[in-house]
Amino acid sequence: MKEWNQNDLTAFLGAAGTGLVYFYTPMCGTCQVAGKMLGVVEEIVDIEIGKMNLNFFPGLAVEYAVESVPCLLFIREGEVVETLYAFRSVMNLLEKIKGNLG
């Protein structure tokens, strides 16, 4: 999972990319668990995943109406199709990816 900055996100959306954007904060314990789950997902599914430390991008929290972290945006062809806060399990994430991006 690559750490993205604002330019990376803009380029991804501008290119009508399909993948996941993971918003987190470093001191969030739940974010640490969610990040590990996404690492497993990344090994199973060939999908682009960018992660962004929301502390550095507070404007994105407003723009995407992020209610809490961890937050996962499902992006299909440059558009947000779902926002997920409860990661639950790797299997749940895989099902969500298949349903939203597959």
What residue has token string 């109406």?
A: 65
- For 48-90, the pLDDT digits (tens) are 999 999 999 999 999 999 999 999 999 999 999 999 999 999 9
CATH number of 2-101: 3.40.30.10
Q: What sign for the dihedral angle of Cα 2, 30, 98, 58? A: negative
| Strand locations in the chain (E) | 2-3, 19-24, 48-53, 71-76, 79-84
pLDDT of res. 100: 96
Band of pLDDT at residue 38, cut at 50, 70 and 90: very high
Give the separation between CA 36 and CA 31, rounded to whole angstroms: 9
pTM reported for the whole predicted model: 0.95
Query: Is residue 65 a contact partner of residue 95, using CB atoms and an 8 Å limit?
Result: no
Express as a percent the part of the chain with pLDDT over 70.
Answer: 100
